[in-house]
Amino acid sequence: MANRLEGELPALVGGRVRELRMELGLSGRGLAAAAGVSQPFLSQLESGQTSVSLVTLYRIANALGVTGPELLPTPLREGIEVYRRSDFTELPVADRLGSASGIGLWRAGRTINELFDFLIEPGQHIAEWFESTGEHGVICLEGCLRVEFDKDDDVTLSAGDVLFYRGPSRHRWHLESETACRVILVSTTS
């Protein structure tokens, strides 16, 4: 089920990060510090030698003053848009072994610019803090998921429940069921 861009994705993301960093006149060391990553990691990313998790992608995007989807290649289509499974890209949630991953589609320059399908198995790591802008919809298809907000009450979703929230928001997820949880995440720009 590999995406046709899978092999090219690190180089495409890294090239975009470097392009934006140069436009802003930031040093690699400065961007790395602002994003909370090491300078060697940023250098490897910019040269296409390593991939990036969702958490790190958003940290770098925030440091560059853009959204996560603006760092990713986006197929531009007019009118009715149909995307096949091969158009989605798989990314880990966090930068550690045992992290859950999701398959995502990004549409930079569109109102709805992200769509993710997460299957979270018991024991997988998902509890990284995310900071995001825009509006988000979380649809729980199976299992049970708790969304922890740093400035609001936690929300627990069961199968069939939907949560909407608007950023800027700092939040993280926790698997609350003993079985897998499947969640769809839809995001918009601010």
**Distance of alpha carbon 30 from alpha carbon 188, whole angstroms:** 28
pLDDT digits (tens, 9 = 90+) for 121-176: 999 988 888 888 888 899 999 999 999 999 889 999 999 999 998 888 889 999 99
Architecture per CATH, domain 85-188, reads as: Sandwich (2.60)
Give the H or E element holding residue 127: none
Question: The whole model's pTM is what?
Answer: 0.65
- DSSP for residue 78: -
Average pLDDT over residues 101-107: 78
Q: With contact defined as beta carbons under 8 Å apart, do 190 and 113 qualify?
A: no
Residues of the chain with CATH 2.60.120.10: 85-188
Architecture per CATH, domain 9-71, reads as: Orthogonal Bundle (1.10)
Give the H or E element holding residue 13: helix 9-24
Cα atoms in the 13 Å half-sphere on the side-chain side of 103: 14
